[in-house]
Structure 1
């Protein structure tokens, strides 16, 4: 919103930066060197292929935005002309698209690390040709809630305070509202909840590192965690979130979002007052039957 103070227009504030995207790039590169853990990305890639197959049209100028590694390589048989936009070393959020230059933008497990998600969605909207499609999957919702709670409790006990350990995630309603705000038509969102079991919390944290998804928050603790804090975190995790066999649960919510650049051919909502029969008349009629 633009306000006015003392006769001078106020420009919208830039959202505060939460993520060190240059560090994210470095950690993704390191994960590839160590041997990536890709089970979530593989699941998303398969689901994305199925969702695109259900769209009865061809795409001639598709682009893949910031998907880690070769995560969507399987789509290249269907979309041989797909343009890959990798995350660069600087972590820039400025997209290299001319207005109305692409007809499809896909992105897998990347948008959760964006500092200015409304701005990026607005850039995608401008880049899409009329009736172009955005299809993306991002981590959100209650993802890693167990790890977040266990760390918070352990740090409160052992260190007398809590530091940011797990990134804040957007929920389903937030994403739907942002798509509308960016000017998209026909927005649709849904959640795929994946619960993964591990021997202990340290095995989960090792997987996160090999996903390139370890803590990249700007306000993260810069010193190494105390051994006592880590051990207590693992104990609390096991106490609160273990199954009968002793293995722990980790929740990942994958938020799917799809939306279209507006076009005259798309179904339009009815204008207020244009309905041929009122709700009151329908209720009255039903009561007489």
Structure 2
């Protein structure tokens, strides 16, 4: 009897479970196969890239394409520009997003809900819609080909404000009321009580901002005329045309070099990001 009970308690594989695993495999393949193709192509010699049928495994492996990226374009300059732009935008957006969300949830003033509706509405407006007006304003201020011209128009925080506002609204009101009874001021409430409770969400907000700003292309492309301010996504377009044809080896190598910093940041912060993005759903 005990033996039969033991076997009966084992979970059975249902069609839903099989479908879930199959879906995961398909999604993983869709994501990983292109990345594997880019990586392997970056390690091929130029003639092997254009062979038919496609030769997946490089023979021989070569790092020549990576050397071409470093030698043919000022890669280090572009990397430092991207690092500066991403760092400044991340700090500005995270700080403004947290402060704005705090004001929308914990400060009482007329029109607070209307302000939040404008924030939500701005999420529905594609960035491309504002390109012409922003370009005209930046050109009038003589900010073209400057870091200010690239950074300031991108410093909007609608998504971060929306994310942090919803998180702050989900926190227990008893804690906030107790803090008010103890005479806690707004800044102490934010930095000593709310932020320590919100670390996973702040990390998720930060990581999403880093990835978004590191990969910015359209606006920096319109603003940057020289290598002095151009970020990596813009600078690496110089590799796409070489004597009338595209040398895909260096392009793929440059893509891999651009991805590595973001992958490192993601691997470091992924657990906190998952906690931050799921906290609201669990509480709900």
Q: Which TM-score bucket, shorter chain as reference?
A: under 0.3
Compare CA radii of gyration and give the structure with the larger one.
Answer: 2
More strand per residue: 1
The structure in which a higher percent of residues are helix is: 2
Q: TM-score, normalised by structure 1?
A: 0.20
Greater relative CO (CA pairs within 8 A, separation 6+): 2
